[in-house]
Amino acid sequence: MTEPFGARLRRAMDERGPLCVGIDPHASLLTEWGLNDDVAGLERFSRTVVEALSDRVAVFKPQSAFFERFGSRGVAVLEKTVQEARAAGALVLMDAKRGDIGSTMAAYAEAFLRKDSPLFSDALTVSPYLGYGSLSPAVVLARESGAGLFVLALTSNPEGGEVQHAVRADGRNVGATMLAHLAAENTGEEPLGSFGAVVGATLGDLSSYDLDINGPLLAPGVGAQGATPADLPGVFGAAIHNVVPNVSRGVLRHGPDVGALRASAERFADEIRSALPTG
């Protein structure tokens, strides 16, 4: 049986530091890199990021939309990117933010979490806004495959609050409810559960939330969206040791030079390390 995602992630974070680098081939980045905004440019961009960083970052997070933009040929590049990154020793978190009624969710789960699927990834971002229970086929298949999920709980964008801060009849807000579902999912798992939450690094003090879900907290928003590694302890408090900060454009804008990409990722990694309390 494959070792559960949470255990594999914990080890990668301990060995390499927790930085997750996003593979987000924006059209504007392809142009800045001197590439055409086409499938060949997409392939060159993705391969360069993987070659530059696969031996040093814990996790890559390819953003599916930037590949889907090019139709089936773009998806073929995504497949190759996932496979090359995994083969090179990095974990891959597929950022596809899937979410649907349960029976359709089962098909999304098959696409990304079934071991022999061409797009099989170590973990997948999912949206619980058709109800947390609608994600259950993905939870079941992830457990079976030793994969993980990252559930959108408190997103980094300013619009997220109208849904996530809405207060339920029991007085708890929707984001907090998602965190509670994840804590239940991860009960008893050691060293870390496989069911993570997405919690934006941009959100300021989150001490009113119980972030102790015994699972990873993906923290997008560092770099281009304005958060810095130094902000992380103030946002996440005691949960900081389970935080996986994601940086996409903040690193990618330094390409196509491999040395500059590495230097940028190292800088973020160093700043994250300095921000973490010791012990």
Ligand X SMILES: O=C(O)c1cc(=O)[nH]c(=O)n1[C@@H]1O[C@H](COP(=O)(O)O)[C@@H](O)[C@H]1O
N-terminal to C-terminal alpha carbon distance within the chain: 32
Q: Which range in 39-47, 51-59, 138-146, 155-163 contacts ligand X by CB under 6 A?
A: 155-163
Residue 242 engages ligand X in binding (rule: CB under 6 A) = no
Q: Which of 41, 193, 216, 220 binds ligand X (CB under 6 A)?
A: 220
Residue 76's contacts (CB-CB under 8 Å, 6 or more residues apart) are none
Residue 122 engages ligand X in binding (rule: CB under 6 A) = no
Residue 27 engages ligand X in binding (rule: CB under 6 A) = no
Residue 63 engages ligand X in binding (rule: CB under 6 A) = yes
Beta strands in 142-276 (DSSP E): 148-154, 195-199, 217-219, 243-247
Q: Which of 64, 214, 248, 264 binds ligand X (CB under 6 A)?
A: 248
Integer Cα distance of 167 and 120 in angstroms: 36
Residue 245 engages ligand X in binding (rule: CB under 6 A) = no
Q: Which range in 69-77, 107-115, 179-187, 223-231 contacts ligand X by CB under 6 A?
A: 223-231
Contact 200, 156 (CB under 8 A): yes
Q: Which CB atom, from 54 or from 64, has the smaller least distance to ligand X? A: 64
Q: Which CB atom, from 24 or from 231, has the smaller least distance to ligand X? A: 24
Least distance from C-beta 80 to ligand X, angstroms?
A: 19
Integer Cα distance of 17 and 11 in angstroms: 9
Integer Cα distance of 93 and 60 in angstroms: 6
Residue 95 engages ligand X in binding (rule: CB under 6 A) = yes
- CA separation, residue 185 to residues 7, 124, 129, 193, 275 (Å): 15, 16, 17, 8, 29
Residue 216 engages ligand X in binding (rule: CB under 6 A) = no
Residue 200 engages ligand X in binding (rule: CB under 6 A) = yes
Residue 164 engages ligand X in binding (rule: CB under 6 A) = no
Contact 211, 199 (CB under 8 A): yes
Residue 214 engages ligand X in binding (rule: CB under 6 A) = no
For 178-194, b/e burial (b = at least 16 CB within 10 A) is bbbbbbebbeeeeebbb
Integer Cα distance of 195 and 130 in angstroms: 18
- Six-digit token string for 7: 């255990």
Type of residue at 6? G
Residue 24 engages ligand X in binding (rule: CB under 6 A) = yes
- Binding-site residue total for ligand X (CB under 6 A)? 20
Q: Which CB atom, from 74 or from 223, has the smaller least distance to ligand X? A: 223
Residue 175 engages ligand X in binding (rule: CB under 6 A) = no
61 is catalytic: no
Contact 106, 126 (CB under 8 A): no
Q: Which of 64, 81, 134, 246 binds ligand X (CB under 6 A)?
A: 246
Residue 247 engages ligand X in binding (rule: CB under 6 A) = yes
Q: Which CB atom, from 120 or from 268, has the smaller least distance to ligand X? A: 268
| Binding-site ranges for ligand X (CB under 6 A) | 22, 24, 63, 95, 125, 155-157, 198, 200, 220-221, 223-225, 246-250
Give the active site residues: 97
